[in-house]
Amino acid sequence: MNQAPPDPSKAVDTFPCAKCGANLNWDAGKGAMHCQFCGHDQPMPVQPTQKIREIPLEEGLAQAPKGLGAPVTTVQCKDCGATVNVGEGERTAACAFCGSKQVLQIQTDSNAIRPESLLPFQIDKPTANKHFATWLADLWFRPNNLKKMAQVQEMGGVYVPYWTFDARCDTDWTAERGWHYYETETYTTTENGQSVTRTRQVQRTRWEPAWGQRRGDFYDDELVCASKGLPAELVSQFSSFNTKQLVPYAPQYLAGWRAEAYAVDLMNAHGTAQVKMGDQQQAKCGRDVGGDTHRSLVCNHRWYAETFKHVLLPIWIAAYRYNNKVFRFLVNGQTGEVTGEAPYSFWKIALAVLLGAAVIGTIIYFVLQNQKAKEEEKRKQQEQFEKDDDEDDKPSPKKKGKKGSSREPFRTRDGYLVTVPV
């Protein structure tokens, strides 16, 4: 008689050590299951046939497996709203995201889509703290004692839920293509109190209709964060997750760690991803228009071959206190990239503003002095020209000639020497 396959929701939540039988936890530094009692390291039992699937979007809710594959306890923060899954029976006194004590156990959603894959933690806590210290030291316009005085509170590693989407896109577009050309323009201005006419080159644009199409553009692993506990402005700064290193999901990776349940469902995340991919597609079409510039770009997209994955990504979440104020920061558990909040130094910013103003003032002073010197030189040249002109208007003094001479040489304004009767 054939037996039914085991129910993942009834799987055991412990992973015993092969040597002493104690529970194993995933060790980010060693990249293996580690026993905290006897020190034994045990590699992850990954089956060769286990592959990461891309699930068709239209069939996703029906095809995707449900649950985490191991019994868990679910707690929810009443302040930030984050829902976190921890080991069954594990108690937590504070929210892993905001530190609030207002956490209550809730019923686990057994119909939630199971993660298809994850990025295991590769950065352990001591390394994450080193990355944080380096990040603090490299910040600009911060207090001098920030690195010394920043007191890091408890740092916790959490697997944060994301959706990834793949899609192909066909686009038909229309636009106006612009070509720049230049014309000479005459204008009137005032110089030295006098109205003068000058010319200058002015850019114009000639417009013409344009249209085109793109076929089969492929988008791979467009990430959408499904967390409710993380600040969106910090999550959006992460740029270094390498989804090419995703491994098939196995509950062993979650041993000793917390995993947040997704708060953004599949279809809402799909809408967000399509907007992000649409913006990228729009930019590609804009580059296809050609010319020197373009306007009135209208794109009609057709999306197809859309697939998704529910994945868990590793993030160290912590806060530090400086001058009795709490600042939050995140460390990428795969690469060590840090994003976070930090106080500014009013005095450093003020000093930078003053120095900038002094530099700008010095530049303006020398420009004005140079302009003044040029105007003075021009004035002197004008005065010399007028003086020379007046000298030319005066008749030359009479010269005593030989006795009986009746003619006197005279130079005209044009410089010719003539002799006139006296």
Model confidence pLDDT, tens digit, residues 278-333: 999 999 999 999 999 999 999 999 999 999 999 999 999 887 766 667 778 888 99
| Residues 6 or more apart whose Cβ sits within 8 Å of residue 225 | 160, 161, 162, 232, 235, 264
Cβ-based burial of 231 (10 A; exposed 0-12, middle 13-18, buried ≥19): middle
- Residue 257, in any domain of the structure: yes
Q: Return the pLDDT at 63.
A: 64
Per DSSP, the three-state class of 12 is coil
Q: How many domains does the chain have?
A: 3
In a domain, 377, yes or no: yes
CB atoms < 10 A from the CB of 288, how many?
A: 17
Are residues 144 and 286 located together in one domain of the fold?
Answer: yes
- Please check whether residues 68 and 37 belong to one and the same domain: no
Instruction: Please report whether residue 184 resides in a domain.
Output: no
CA distances from 45 to 48, 50, 53, 329 (A): 9, 11, 19, 33
Does one domain contain both 366 and 311? no
Domain interval for residue 135: 54-172+208-344
Total Cβ atoms within 10 A of residue 258: 21
Question: Do 301 and 385 belong together in one domain?
Answer: no
Work out the mean pLDDT of the chain and round it to a whole number: 78
Amino acid letter, residue 46: V
96 and 129 assigned to the same domain? yes
391 CB-near residues (< 8 Å, 6+ apart): none
Asked, for residue 178, whether it belongs to a domain, the answer is: no
User: Residue 55: which region, alpha, beta or left (left: phi > 0; alpha: psi -120 to 50)?
Assistant: beta
- C-beta atoms surrounding 49 within 10 Å: 6
**Are 267 and 150 within one domain?**
yes
Decide if 194 is inside a domain: no
- Provide the residue-wise pLDDT of the chain in tens; the chain has 422 residues: 333 333 333 333 568 888 887 888 888 878 888 888 888 888 877 555 567 778 877 776 666 666 666 667 778 777 777 787 776 666 666 777 776 666 666 677 777 888 889 999 999 988 988 888 787 777 664 555 555 545 566 778 899 999 999 999 999 999 999 999 999 999 898 888 888 898 999 999 999 999 999 999 999 999 999 988 887 788 888 777 899 999 998 888 888 888 888 989 888 999 999 999 999 999 999 999 999 999 999 999 999 999 999 999 999 988 776 666 777 888 899 999 988 876 555 555 666 677 777 788 788 878 888 888 877 777 777 777 666 666 655 565 555 545 555 555 656 666 656 565 55
Angle at 111 (CA atoms; ends 32, 271), nearest 5 degrees? 90
DSSP 27: E
pLDDT at 160: 92
Same domain, 38 and 63: no
326 lies in the same domain as 263:
yes
Q: Which candidate, 32, 35, 29, places its Cα nearest to that of 17? A: 35
Residues 258 and 352 in one domain: no
Say if residue 216 is in the same domain as residue 352.
Answer: no
Looking up tokens 């199409």 gives: 213
Is 140 found in the same domain as 287? Answer: yes
One domain for residues 266 and 310: yes
